[in-house]
Structures are given as C-alpha cells and as structure tokens.
Amino acid sequence: MGKYLNQKPVLVAVDCIIFGYDGDQLKLLVIKRAIEPVKDKWSLMGGFIGEEEDLDEAAKRILLELTGLHDVYLEQLHAYGRPDRDPIERTVSVVYFALIDINKYSKQINDQYHAEWFKLKEVPELIFDHNVMVKAAMDKIRYQAALHPVLFELLPKRFTIPQLQALYEQVYDAPIDNRNFIRKITASGLLIKQTDKDKSSSRRGAFYFKLDRNKHKAQFQSFLNFIPKTSK
C-alpha cells in the first residue's frame, strides 16, 4: 500500500517524568538537554520513538539511555500535541511518569546527561511545556493515591509512619494531624507492623511497617481517609 495522500508526517516523542522520595523529600529528576534547540536547559527525559517501537518500549529505552533507570513503576499519563509546542518540527509527545525510592535506585542513575534531583518546590524552569506535564502528573498521582497504594512505590518495602505521613503531606501539599493520621492508619489494618525500629532520627525510634497489599485490595477506597481535607 502507498502512503496517505496530502498528509504531512508528525514526529512522536516520549517524555518521562521521574518522581522520587528519599525518606524525607519528594523530588523530581531532570537533565540538561543534549541537543538544540535550548541545549543545556533543564528538561524531562525525552526522545523520539523508533520505527519499530511501541510507546511503552520507547519510554523504557529512553529512561534507560538518559538516566540508567530500569525496572521501575512507569505509567502513561497523557499526550501533548499543541502545534507550536516544539519550535523545530510538529511533535506530539506521549508522557509517562515513574515513581521510585531514590535510595533503592541511586546506584542505577548515571551522570552522562547531568541528571539531578530537585525538591518539587525548587524545580527550575523546564523547556517547552514540560512544567505543564509535571503539574498534570502530580494531579494524576493525587487522584490515584486516594484509591490505590501507588505512593508506596516511592517507599522502601519497610518504612515508618513518620515517613509515610511526610510523603502524603508533600504529595498533597498540606499538613496532616499526626495523632489523627496514626489512629486512622492503625485502625485500617492495612499495615503490617515489624518487630524492629528505625533509630536514625531519635533514641526512642519508630517501628517499621509493611503494606498488606492483599488486604488493601479488599478495602479499595481506604486511602481516601488519609487525604488532607485542605489539600490543593
């Protein structure tokens, strides 16, 4: 078969938004763009899809090539196709976001493209419409976190209640009452208490917990109870 008549080709790119949590701060991983235009400006991880690739394959390849990351939680977010979003050629971008425990994957990340972590409130101005993409990803994560244990992708397998609370507060950009949070999370039965403690922050220490994923499936909307009512 021939080509479609009177149709101009459009480039398809994939951009990856990498959120990470180090046990204290929620962060975004960005790189210095390696090509013109806007070379050396801060950018999400992105690249063009290959002729023989599907979108998921391209996202995994781009993530691996630009950061060294692999085998991480990766989810398709949205497609951006404003005609003037790229000053060189008409380009449609399909966006993915990833959630990682920074400490777990720190050894994978390479520095070939000067990948750097920024706290969410300190992210520099990004190229093109990448800031818009990041905001949309955060909106999606907040929605999903109300129904699914998606934020636990940002935590190690074992974590403390203070770490969990700090993560929720940063995701929703709102404070959570400590006693109320502990009471609700304990009553939910969704966490499995471990026998040992994390004593890195205090002599008394805080017990480690694990998420009971099987029990969470039976209580699908449990996490709605923990969202701050003043969330933005």
| pLDDT tens readout for residues 122-132 | 999 999 999 99
At 224 the pLDDT is: 55
> Is 69 inside any structural domain?
yes
- 20 shares its domain with 122: yes
- 219 shares its domain with 159: yes
- 15 shares its domain with 126: yes
Q: Which residue has the tokens 């990803």?
A: 137
- 76 shares its domain with 177: no
Residues with Cβ < 8 Å from 2, sequence gap 6 or more?
A: none
What share of residues in the chain are helix, strand, coil (percent, to 5)? 30, 25, 40
Specify the number of domains making up the chain. 2
Domain membership of residue 159 as a residue range: 151-224
> Is 51 inside any structural domain?
yes
- 117 shares its domain with 39: yes
> Is 60 inside any structural domain?
yes
- Last residue within a domain, chosen from 135, 163, 184: 135
At 232 the pLDDT is: 47
Distance CA 37, CA 52 (A): 26
- 17 shares its domain with 130: yes
> Is 166 inside any structural domain?
yes
**Under a CB-based contact definition with an 8 Å cutoff, are residues 59 and 101 in contact?**
no
Distance CA 12, CA 93 (A): 6
The CATH number of the domain holding residue 85 is 3.90.79.10
Most distant CA atoms of the chain, gap in Å: 73
- 174 shares its domain with 208: yes
The CATH number of the domain holding residue 191 is 1.10.10.10
Chain-centre distance for alpha carbon 101: 10
How high does pLDDT run on average in the chain? 89
At 210 the pLDDT is: 93
- 116 shares its domain with 173: no
**Which whole number is the average pLDDT over 96-120?**
89
**Under a CB-based contact definition with an 8 Å cutoff, are residues 28 and 125 in contact?**
no
**Which whole number is the average pLDDT over 198-206?**
79
- 163 shares its domain with 116: no
- 87 shares its domain with 173: no
Angle at Cα 139 formed by Cα 133 and Cα 143, nearest 5°? 145
Confidence of residue 202 (pLDDT cuts 50, 70, 90): confident
Residue 47 in this model has a pLDDT that exceeds 80? yes
- Last residue within a domain, chosen from 102, 135, 168: 135
pTM, entire model: 0.89
- 79 shares its domain with 189: no
> Is 61 inside any structural domain?
yes
- 111 shares its domain with 205: no
